[in-house]
Amino acid sequence: MVQQGSGDGPGGDAGGPGPAGATAPPPGRARLHVYFSGIVQGVFFRANTRREAIRLGLQGWVRNLPDGRVEAWVEGERAAVEELLDYCTARIPLAQVDKVDFDWGPPTREHDTFEVVR
């Protein structure tokens, strides 16, 4: 599996928790905009992402895209956001994530909860 990042956050080949060789965003709250490719639709990816995000106290949304990818906008404590990224990348049952593209950014506090959007 390959993870890629851009902007001022992590990116690189996957290995262990989080992307290997990556530089993390600053401590505190962070926002992650991410696209997952692979077998990520029709395998309860969005429902599992939402459940885990709520468990971790995160805000944002997740949705299917017409091209077969899943897109998510996640915000919260940086460590929790990284934990959700790791969960979505490797631990959702039935899913097979082949590629992850993401950008870190400053928190916007636009969302109060975590939702599946259509």
Query: Does residue 68 form part of some domain?
Result: yes
Query: Does residue 34 form part of some domain?
Result: yes
Identify the CATH number of the domain in which residue 90 sits. Answer: 3.30.70.100
Cα-atom radius of gyration of the chain, to the nearest Å? 13
Domain coverage including residue 87: 2-7+28-109
Phi-psi region of 90 (alpha: psi -120 to 50; beta: other; left: phi over 0): alpha
Query: Does residue 116 form part of some domain?
Result: no
Catalytic residue among 48, 50, 55, 64: 64
Catalytic residue among 29, 31, 46, 50: 46
Specify the pLDDT at position 27: 74
Residue 48 designated active-site: no
Q: What integer is the mean pLDDT of 4-14?
A: 44
Query: Does residue 71 form part of some domain?
Result: yes
Specify the pLDDT at position 36: 98
Residue 64 designated active-site: yes
Query: Does residue 115 form part of some domain?
Result: no
Residue-wise pLDDT tens digits, 55-114: 999 999 999 999 999 999 999 999 999 999 999 999 999 999 999 999 999 999 999 999
Residue-wise pLDDT tens digits, 22-39: 455 557 999 999 999 999
